[in-house]
Amino acid sequence: MSTDEEAGAIGRHRLGSLQHTQGERTVLEIEGRTIGAEQFAVIAGPCTVESREQTLETAHAVRDAGGALFRGGAYKPRTSPYDFHGLGPEGLRLLAEARLETGLPIVTELLDLRDLDQVREVADVIQIGARNMQNYALLEEVGRAGVPVLLKRGLSSTLDELLLAAEYILKEGNDAVMLCERGIRTFEPSYRFTLDLMAVPVLKERSHLPVIVDPSHAAGRRDLVLPLSLAAAAAGADGIIVEVHPRPEEAICDGPQSLRTSELAGFVERVHAAAAVAGKSIREPAVV
Ligand code: PEP
Ligand code: MN
């Protein structure tokens, strides 16, 4: 087998932006928070923005626990067309308020090109979800928008496909992209998805982009989020993105996998310790 074949399909593509020499890694600076380099970032927040009270309570808990960025969906991709699809513009307004109150930069998902202008007004990082990883028009547009992007791996996508999806953003001149392993479909039905932690070192070997892990959507169960987060940190991830809710039993979306705000500080402390073992340091977030 030649080196190109071993490297997979991506080795046979003409790559521009993803080619790098060792030591030239992309580091994202987002409102004073660093994704990449020696930093480890915890991104946390609810699956979906539900109300002002839930959003602000969660955002304060994330900041107090040492979270780096606040996540929350105003536009939600749902398997059933009859499920809750997010508060839309009102959700974006609540995220802006959370940002103002806590100083935490906002990560929120863009589902539809028609919402780009509204979303970019609030988002410090635009999330492209697993189901849109191969929506190439959307990728090119967020590439042109010049906003940092959190790109999730598709449910059944190979690493080559993820890297080439990232290339759609990079080729438009936007290299502020972090890749996110969030679990893939396998034959194993015991958990929601199978978290592919081998993707962490392999993606870092094959691109210069920071790599984060989403244990919440992979597991589908709260009790698995800590062990998977520790493993992700130990594997050298540049951060994690986790779901958290003040009252997960009442959550509209993804309650069973959401950490409780009351347990977040202890959780973050343990994950930071694992990240330190992997050589990462934790910079204190700026307090506002
Ligand atoms: C999410 O982060 O809320 C989400 C829907 O994730 P994914 O696209 O990985 O399913
Ligand atoms: Mn979710």
What are 226-251's pLDDT values in tens digits?
Answer: 999 999 999 999 999 999 999 999 99
Report the separation in Å between the CA atom of 80 and the middle of ligand 1, taken as the mean of its atom positions.
Answer: 14
Distance between alpha carbon 173 and the CA centroid of its chain, in Å?
21
Q: Is the C-alpha dihedral spanning 266, 269, 273, 279 positive or negative? A: positive
The model carries a pTM of: 0.93
Nearest to 112 by CA among 59, 83, 73, 84: 73
**How would DSSP label each residue in 192-209?**
SSB--TTHHHHHHHH-SS
Identify the band that residue 24 occupies on the pLDDT scale cut at 50, 70 and 90: confident
pLDDT of residue 263: 98
- Classify burial at 23, counting beta carbons within 10 Å of its beta carbon; exposed 0-12, middle 13-18, buried 19 or more: exposed
pLDDT of residue 9: 47
| Contact of 95 with 49, CB cutoff 8 Å | yes
pLDDT in tens, 155-182: 999 999 999 999 999 999 999 999 999 9
Our answer on whether the CB atom of 182 is closer than 6 Å to any ligand 1 atom is: yes
pLDDT of residue 287: 47
Residue nearest ligand 1's atom 9 by CA: 130
Our answer on whether the CB atom of 73 is closer than 6 Å to any ligand 1 atom is: yes
Our answer on whether the CB atom of 153 is closer than 6 Å to any ligand 1 atom is: no
Residue nearest ligand 1's atom 10 by CA: 130
Identify the band that residue 281 occupies on the pLDDT scale cut at 50, 70 and 90: confident
Q: Any idea which ligand is nearest the CA of 154?
A: 1
Q: Residue 263's CB: how many other CB atoms inside 10 A?
A: 15
Identify the band that residue 13 occupies on the pLDDT scale cut at 50, 70 and 90: very low
pLDDT of residue 4: 45
Distance between alpha carbon 167 and the CA centroid of its chain, in Å?
17
- Classify burial at 191, counting beta carbons within 10 Å of its beta carbon; exposed 0-12, middle 13-18, buried 19 or more: middle
State the chain's mean pLDDT as an integer. 92
Q: Which atom of ligand 1 is nearest to the CA of 127?
A: 2
Identify the band that residue 1 occupies on the pLDDT scale cut at 50, 70 and 90: very low
First to last CA, the chain: 55
Average pLDDT of 191-202?
Answer: 97
Task: Evaluate if residue 106 carries a pLDDT over 80.
Answer: yes
Higher pLDDT pick, 17 / 34? 34
Report the separation in Å between the CA atom of 3 and the middle of ligand 1, taken as the mean of its atom positions.
Answer: 34
Residue nearest ligand 1's atom 3 by CA: 47
Q: Any idea which ligand is nearest the CA of 129?
A: 1
Residue nearest ligand 1's atom 1 by CA: 47
Higher pLDDT pick, 175 / 15? 175
Identify the band that residue 64 occupies on the pLDDT scale cut at 50, 70 and 90: very high
Our answer on whether the CB atom of 149 is closer than 6 Å to any ligand 1 atom is: no
Q: Which atom of ligand 1 is nearest to the CA of 253?
A: 3
pLDDT of residue 15: 44
